[in-house]
Structure 1
Amino acid sequence: MIVHLDLDCFFASCERLLDPGLKHRPLAVGGRGDPFIFARQSRRNIDATLENSGAFVPTLFYDAQSDFESYFVEDEKIRGIVITSSYEARAFGIKTGMTIREALGLCPRLVVRPPNHLFYHDRSHALKKWLEKRIPVLEQYSVDEFFGDLSGWVPDEEVPAFLRALRDDIEKEFGLPVSIGAAPSKWIAKLATSAAKPGRGDGVKVLFKDEVDNFVNPLPIDAFPGIGRGFSKRLKAYKIETLGDLKAARHLLYRWKKPGRQLYHRVNGDDNEPVVAGHDRRSIGISRTIDPVYDRREIRRRLVILCRHLAHLVEKLGVRPRTLFLGIKYQFGQKAKRHVTETFLFSELALRQRVLALFDSLDIYKNLAIVRLGVSCSHFADRPATFANLFDHETETKAERLWHQTARIRQKYGVDTIRTGVEMM
């Protein structure tokens, strides 16, 4: 039996650990897309964590540690969106993605807290280590979600009692409410978790093999994890409204190649996708959506800042990339992207030089404002490069040593401790 654990309103639950007075009150945790990373003044509470893994686990955070006014109010306007909310807040119609201003309009007594991501990751990591002693194969799917495989460990008939005890122990040990689903396959287990959530179930939903079809078939297609807005619209164009309709349309899904075939078998429960205990990180990156910026000097300044943070992450991960990627999004939706692969001595300076050169060759819509920047590294070498361009070897070696030295200081005092002059201009 495969299980899926989803921590309920995780960020809000963590805030209640920090301030028990928030219990039973409408509460939201808001975010602002990290506008502070590009600030000209130093921000000591920006840091990175690599403790948790998973496809949806970011690595770099501005840890708010501030009040509502200093984080959300700018030029007398309330900025930011809701990134999670308590069930008491959801009763007022407050949803993830709603602006803070809209949320306060629906519930004037709503408590809105800035995010404390590093604390959330600390709690997630502690829970992961605890779960690894109780579930033989554990996969972290996101900061607040885990998959586990109980095959050969807990007999199927004992799974409901095992999961109820697990749920109670998590709440007792960590003070975190959790919903757990179980089924013969991975994505049906995740679907079952939705029926275990507060207001729908008692925290645990187990689907045995002969119960899966009766549970799955009547559900609307939008209920299935992985069916996004685009895929949903495409399916509904063929009058496919329920998951039962989808299961009966094998011929159609198979015409949509790999994504269609994968979705069909996940919904059918015969995808045989395993729970994977660990993922080798194949890339690491950082991207930010920004207000429209026309000034290319300002864009280059922001790329330098992104390179500094990315170099910090590369050092913490202990890898040596060979491929660098830059992506740009313009104000009217146009996109440009390019990568370069080469063997070189990695350093913050080497990264910055290559990314700025990529930008100069990539910026094809010079009259348009830029609204998103993304930089990433991949194709990690098995060992650090022992050579570089013979003419630049001494310069690149010095740059590598300087990068390691500054990394030690940033690790101790914060990634903003040492910055280049151009970042403050």
Structure 2
Amino acid sequence: MRDAPTILHLDMDAFFAAAEQAAKPSLRGKPVVVGGLGPRGVVSTASYEARGFGVHSAMSTAQARRLCPNAAYLTPRFSLYRQVSDAVMELLHALSPLVEPLSLDEAFVDLEAGGIEAGEEAARRAGEKLRRDIRAATTLTGSVGLAGSKMLAKIASEQAKPDGLAVIRPGTERRLLGPMPARILPGVGPATAEHLRRAGIHTVAEIAEAGEGELVRLLGKAHGTSLHAMSTGHDDRPVVAERDAKSVSVEDTFDVDLHDRVRVRAEVGRLADRCVKRLRSAGRSGRTVVLKVRRYDFSTLTRSETLRGPTDEPAVVREAADRLLDGVDTTGGIRLLGVGVSGLADFTQEDLFAQAASENAERAESGSLEAEALDVAGVTGSQGAPAAGRPAVRRWLPGHDVRHPEHGAGWVQGSGVGKVTVRFERPGSAPGRVRTFPVDDPDLQPSEPLPLTGGAGQSPAPAIRPKSSPGAERSGAAASRP
């Protein structure tokens, strides 16, 4: 534990939805929901306007539509989110060499390692400058928490939301934590919370009062000891610059259960290729191939096969996943499939499987990667490549980028009955006009997202502030989340 609030936690505000609002001027100030849009879709992020209707992440999209039918429902654009995330992470690294990313929109920063004075005012100035720089670089807002430990810095950033800064001063930890629910502590998930509830423990203060011995009896030595320390405000976990991934995986949930064994096998092959593409992008290889299958009754099983050495060969991973599928009963229907690679390494070991399979798989791999390119562009969706001899079905996903030689850049508002509706606008422009085209119009093409910048003349998305006065800062126990 530090005696100054020199650990910073940044959490971008409603990140995916805010990025979409910044990229699409017609959506600023309006409810936006990003996530899966099919019958089994799940909300990834909801804008603060949508949250006012009760929409939140992890809610089914169907429920969100009932609560907020007039929101803009968009499919994710991860290329845009990564672009913005890279800009934010660059600003964090300018503060300190010790930056620990937790996701695209969240990270810890060790200000002390960056040479910033060990005092509250210096930390506060660094946090405020970071927030200004993020808005200037991306037009988005982030919330900053400052404390003497990672746990408390994260709690502080939650209190600061949206678009604020909160400081938890050393010495105020126990008073602040006491009335909070047990779930606020790291490591208290649904199962642990249920164990504690059965023992009559609901708040952080009650965890501290239970004592280390009782917690060890309930939860085991490692978990009980750690939880008791955190309940008293003690957390000595360092900010770690490199978090080594243990596995790489991809998975898809299908709108309708898959019953056709040939289709299931094709989807496994497509997922294997996507997994290897992600593996290679990270400069890694792996030794163990994992297949995940969720059946019609929500039962989930995993199967794995360990190879003779690490590989990043698409054919090897595809064939291993195919062999694993042979041992799975798919009658009755499959709702989710996933393929992963674990046992990661920074090198590849020549594998006899690759030599045997490479020639036979070359043409199939080319076709699969082509189908994935179409999928990412939003042309064919999760159905993959079109059958031989049949034209590609152009499936335009809501929110995705397009370009037209006459009207320029735009985004898909919706499609159906052979038509696609596009709004032509770009970041920083005025709200654009809406036009409708046939889905197979050759002039309408998928496009990459335009960058979000805070250049002159561009109005950032309006910040939604708490009920307290604009720009107010919260410190210690006085902070509260709206």
Aligned equivalents of 1:358 and 1:89: distance in 2? 42
Aligned equivalents of 1:101 and 1:333: distance in 2? 18
Residue 28 (structure 1) aligned with residue 32 (structure 2): yes
Give the aligned partner of residue 99 of structure 2.
138
AA of the residue aligned to 1:204: L
- SS across alignment from 2:325: helix
Residue 189 (structure 1) aligned with residue 153 (structure 2): yes
Distance of aligned partners of 1:409 and 1:356 in 2 relative to their CA distance in 1, 3 Å threshold:
closer
Distance of aligned partners of 1:411 and 1:318 in 2 relative to their CA distance in 1, 3 Å threshold:
farther
Contact 2:204 2:231 in 1 (8 A): yes
AA of the residue aligned to 1:159: A
Structure-1-length-normalised TM-score: 0.77
Give the aligned partner of residue 4 of structure 1.
9
Give the aligned partner of residue 20 of structure 2.
15
Distance of aligned partners of 1:405 and 1:116 in 2 relative to their CA distance in 1, 3 Å threshold:
closer
Give the aligned partner of residue 353 of structure 1.
319
Q: Mind listing any 5+ residue stretches in structure 2 that lack a counterpart? A: 1-5, 388-482
Contact 1:170 1:178 in 2 (8 A): yes
Give the aligned partner of residue 424 of structure 2.
none
- SS across alignment from 1:240: coil
Give the aligned partner of residue 212 of structure 1.
173
AA of the residue aligned to 1:236: R
Give the aligned partner of residue 67 of structure 1.
none
Contact 2:91 2:133 in 1 (8 A): no
Which shows bigger deviation, 301-310 or 80-89? 80-89
Q: Mind listing any 5+ residue stretches in structure 1 that lack a counterpart? A: 33-71
Give the aligned partner of residue 228 of structure 1.
189
AA of the residue aligned to 1:156: G
Q: Where is the helix percentage greater, Structure 1 or Structure 2?
A: 1
Deviation at 1:20, TM superposition (A): 2.9
Superimposed CA distance per residue, residues 362-411 of structure 1 (whole angstroms, 9 cap, x where no aligned partner)? x1x4544333222111223453323526xx84x34646987998899899
Contact 1:285 1:374 in 2 (8 A): yes
1:305 to 248, 261, 270: 270
AA of the residue aligned to 1:28: V
Aligned equivalents of 1:138 and 1:123: distance in 2? 17
Contact 1:182 1:207 in 2 (8 A): yes
Aligned equivalents of 1:404 and 1:297: distance in 2? 17
Contact 1:304 1:423 in 2 (8 A): no
- SS across alignment from 1:205: strand
Give the aligned partner of residue 174 of structure 1.
138
RMSD of Structure 2 on Structure 1 (CA): 3.3
**How many residues in Structure 1 have an aligned counterpart in Structure 2?**
371
**Percent identity among equivalent residues?**
28
Distance of aligned partners of 1:383 and 1:196 in 2 relative to their CA distance in 1, 3 Å threshold:
closer
Give the aligned partner of residue 314 of structure 1.
279
Aligned equivalents of 2:41 and 2:160: distance in 1? 30
Contact 1:347 1:399 in 2 (8 A): no
Aligned equivalents of 1:302 and 1:399: distance in 2? 19
Distance of aligned partners of 1:274 and 1:264 in 2 relative to their CA distance in 1, 3 Å threshold:
same
Aligned equivalents of 1:287 and 1:90: distance in 2? 27
Contact 1:348 1:403 in 2 (8 A): no
**Structure 2 counterparts to residues 189-338 of structure 1, below 5 A:** 189-198=153-162, 203-249=164-210, 250-255=212-217, 256-257=219-220, 258-290=222-254, 291-338=256-303
Deviation at 1:260, TM superposition (A): 3.5
Superimposed CA distance per residue, residues 155-186 of structure 1 (whole angstroms, 9 cap, x where no aligned partner)? 22321232123222322332111111111111
Give the aligned partner of residue 333 of structure 2.
369
Aligned equivalents of 1:404 and 1:214: distance in 2? 59
Structure-2-length-normalised TM-score: 0.68
Deviation at 1:192, TM superposition (A): 1.4
